[in-house]
Amino acid sequence: GAVVSQHPSRVICKSGTSVKIECRSLDFQATTMFWYRQFPKQSLMLMATSNEGSKATYEQGVEKDKFLINHASLTLSTLTVTSAHPEDSSFYICSARTSGRSETQYFGPGTRLLVL
Amino acid sequence: EDKVVQSPLSLVVHEGDTVTLNCSYEVTNFRSLLWYKQEKKAPTFLFMLTSSGIEKKSGRLSSILDKKELFSILNITATQTGDSAVYLCAVGNHNDYKLSFGAGTTVTVRA
């Protein structure tokens, strides 16, 4: 149980374009989803927390207009990187938490973004 | 701000060796400590620890938490090449459901 999928797994785009990444909980309802980015040989850095039906909460230093998050249902959250630039190239990972008091997060397989 | 420090940063062992990974933390209103294993892709969940002194075990992996001294260890016995990965420690607090991650320990197991 507790499977999270992410799509696409890898994307290459031109500078200035927007990229949408989907995160789905396949076998459970995710009250909360989290978006992280990870640079090579570094740990996960939380970008934002997404609750179903409400606006995402962004961490300090993360531009909400650049990284648009939508959590339209209990099984789907999307991250759109708008007007992507080479410095946005990174590994983006989502995670999902089930409802209730558990804080265990289950991670998706990640999306590797390369902006040329 | 919550702080999670893992040590060592990396280690190389031979198959059959035992490894011990350390995670110390400073967190306001501690709730739990979690261990994850990350290979090429995203992290996979290993353990969640909330109480001191109770060992959690899964096959050759085990972990224990010391809430007085604010640390946890993850042990891997009889290591195999498939254990090669980055092991991440994360802590959660009672304020929200966010996790703060350490930098990870890279374990390389040589045949």
Q: Give the residue on B whose Cα is nearest the Cα of A34.
A: B98
Optimal mutation site among A3, A28, A44, A98, interface B, most CBs of chain B within 10 A: A44
List pLDDT tens digits, range A44-101. 899 999 988 888 999 999 999 999 999 888 899 999 999 999 999 999 999 998 766 5
- Residue B56 tokens read as 């959690």
Going by their DSSP bridges, the two strands B10-14 and A67-73 should be labelled as unpaired
Q: How far is A56 from chain B (nearest CA, A)?
A: 13
* Mean local confidence (pLDDT), B41-51: 90
- What DSSP string describes A30-90? EEEEEEEEE-TT---EEEEEEETTS--EEPTT--TTTEEEEEEETTEEEEEE-S--GGG-E
Q: Distance (Å, rounded) from C-alpha B29 to C-alpha B79? A: 35
